[in-house]
Amino acid sequence: MSSAFASSRTNGSEIVKELAFFAVVALLMSVMILGVETVDRPTGLELAVRWDLVLLAIGSTVVGRLALIIRRESISRLVQAVLITITAVAVFEMFVRFRDMDDRWASPVSFDMALSSAVSSVVALAFIAIVFAIAYFSMKEKGVVEVEESEKLSSKIQLAYRSNTKKIGLVGIIFFIIFPFIFGENRSAIDLATLVMIYIMLGWGLNIVVGLAGLLDLGYVAFYAVGAYSYALLSQNFDLSFWLCLPLAGIFAASFGIILGFPVLRLRGDYLAIVTLGFGEIIRVVLINWYDLTGGPDGISSIERPSFFGLADFSRRVPEGTIGFNELFGMEYSSMHRLIFLYYLILALALVTNFVTMRLRKLPIGRAWEALREDEIACRSLGINPTNTKLSAFAIGAMFGGFAGAFFATRQGFISPESFTFLESAVILAIVVLGGMGSQIGVVLAAIVMIGFPEMFRELAEYRMLIFGAGIVAIMLWRPRGLLSFRDPTILLNMSQKEKVAGELK
C-alpha cells in the first residue's frame, strides 16, 4: 500500500487525518443502528452489542474512502479497483450478517461460499469479478480529459437513441408481442408482464396530462377507479359484456375528468395538485361509503371475465349456448389461454394509448398542450382557449385511465377501494417523472423499474426501500429530469432529426 502513496500529492498525515475523520463518522452512524440490538430473553428485553457489524461498517468506510482518495490523487486504477472490491465485499458481508444473526461469528460468508461447493465458489468469484470489473473500468485514470471523453460517449448514446427512437420502439413492441411465446407456460411471468403493462398504460395516460400539458395531477387513480367500477357495476347490474363496457368505462372516466376539470383548471401548479389529490380521495371515500351501490369496503367480487370478442369463452366449463376458446381453435384446454389473451388485450390497449398520444402530439391540440405548459399567457394572446385545451388533456388522460381500470376489473375479477389509494397515484406519477416527462419509451423503462423489478427480486424485498432510496439519489445526481428527458420536435423544416439532436448536443 505504501508504494501506492509514493506518488501522492497530498502527504501521508493528511490522508490519515481524513481517514480517521470518516472512521469516526462511520462509528457515530453505525453504533446506534448496527451496534445495539434488543433481544427478547425470558428475563425481559436486554441489549446486546454487535461490535463485529460496527467494525465492518467502519472498515468498509475507511477502505472505500481510501479508494476515493486514490482516485482523487489519480494513482493506479488497479489499486482503486481492488479497494473498491474489498469495500463491496465488506458491505455485502455486513448485510448478510445483519440478516442472519445466528451465525454472525462464523467465518466470512463469501469465504464460506467459495469453499462450500464448486457452484457457489463460481458464484462468489463471479460476484467479486463483476464488482472488480465495474470498479476498474469506471475509474478515470486522468481526470479532466476522461471527463470530456465520457461526456462524448453519453452524447453519442443520446444521438444514437434519439435518432433511432422509432426503431427502438419497434423492437420493444416486437419484444412484447413475442413475450408470451418465450414464457408461454410460465404463469408468473405472464402475470407480471400484464401488471407491468397496466402501469405502462396508466403512465402513458398520465403522461398526456403531466408530461404534455404540464398539469400536475396527484389524483389520477380516481379515473382508474371510475373505469374499474363502471365496468364492474354495468356488468353486474345490467349484464353488459366487457366489449360494450370498455368504451363506456372510458367515456365515464373522461366525463369525470371534465367534471373535475371545469372548476379547478383555473388553478395552477401546486394548487391544482392539491385539488386533484383531494378529488382522488373523494372518489375513494365515496366508493367506501356508498354501500348500496359499490359494496363499500367489501368491494365487488366475481366480475365477469372477458370473452374472446364475444365468440368464445375461456372457462373450463363453458355456459350453455357458447363454445370454449379451445374448441374454437381445436386446442387442448389450458388455463393459460385466458392469461395470454388478457396480456394481449392490455398490450393492445396500451399500444392504442401510445399511438393516439404520439399522433395527438403532432396535431394542433397536442402542440397547444405543450405551448400551454411553456407559457399560458402567451397562449391566451394567440387566441388559444386555455380552459378547453386543459380540459381536453384532462379528459383524454382520464379516458385512458378508465380503459385501464376496466381492464383491471376484468382481470382481477374483484375490486375494492383498497386498490385505488393515493399510493397508486404516486406510483403512476413516479413512473412518468422517472421516465422523463413526455417520453413514451421512458415510461416503459420506468414501469419496468418501478413495478417489474420489485416483483422479480422478491428475495431482496427486505432491502427494497434501501435500494429505492439509493436509486432516487442516483437519479437525482445523474438524470435529474428523468431517465429519457428529451423533447423531440413535432415538425422539422430543414433539418433531419439526427442533425437536430447533434446540434443540440454540441
Give residues in contact with another protein (CB under 8 A).
Answer: 356, 359-360, 363-365, 367-368, 370-371, 374-375, 377-386, 392, 487, 489-495, 500, 503-504
Helices (H), 34-116: 51-72, 77-99, 109-116
Distance CA 185, CA 190 (A): 8
Report strand pairing: 312-313 vs 323-324.
parallel
Burial of 355 (0-12, 13-18, 19+ CB in 10 A): exposed
Closest CA to 435 of 140, 193, 204: 204
- Cβ closer to another protein: 58 or 368? 368
- 270 CB-near residues (< 8 Å, 6+ apart): 216
Closest CA to 435 of 369, 469, 396, 479: 479
- Cβ closer to another protein: 56 or 349? 349
Distance CA 40, CA 36 (A): 13
Distance CA 123, CA 114 (A): 8
Least distance from C-beta 502 to another protein, angstroms? 12
- Cβ closer to another protein: 16 or 492? 492
Least distance from C-beta 494 to another protein, angstroms? 6
Least distance from C-beta 362 to another protein, angstroms? 8
- Cβ closer to another protein: 34 or 265? 265
- Cβ closer to another protein: 184 or 489? 489
Least distance from C-beta 350 to another protein, angstroms? 18
Number of H helices, E strands in the chain: 23, 4
Helices (H), 164-220: 165-182, 187-207
For 279, other C-beta atoms within 10 Å of its C-beta total 22
Least distance from C-beta 403 to another protein, angstroms? 16
Report strand pairing: 36-41 vs 44-49.
antiparallel
Which letter does DSSP use for residue 275 in this model? H
- Cβ closer to another protein: 127 or 486? 486
Least distance from C-beta 395 to another protein, angstroms? 12
Least distance from C-beta 155 to another protein, angstroms? 16
Report the DSSP beta bridge partners of residue 505: none
- Cβ closer to another protein: 77 or 367? 367
- Cβ closer to another protein: 149 or 374? 374
Q: What angle do CA 273, 274, 278 make, to 5 degrees?
A: 115
Is 338:180 a contact under the CB 8 Å cutoff?
Answer: no
- Cβ closer to another protein: 44 or 383? 383
Chain position carrying cell 375513494: 284
Least distance from C-beta 142 to another protein, angstroms? 33
Least distance from C-beta 381 to another protein, angstroms? 5
Alpha-carbon distances of 217 from 221, 222, 265, 298, 414, rounded to whole Å = 10, 10, 11, 28, 26
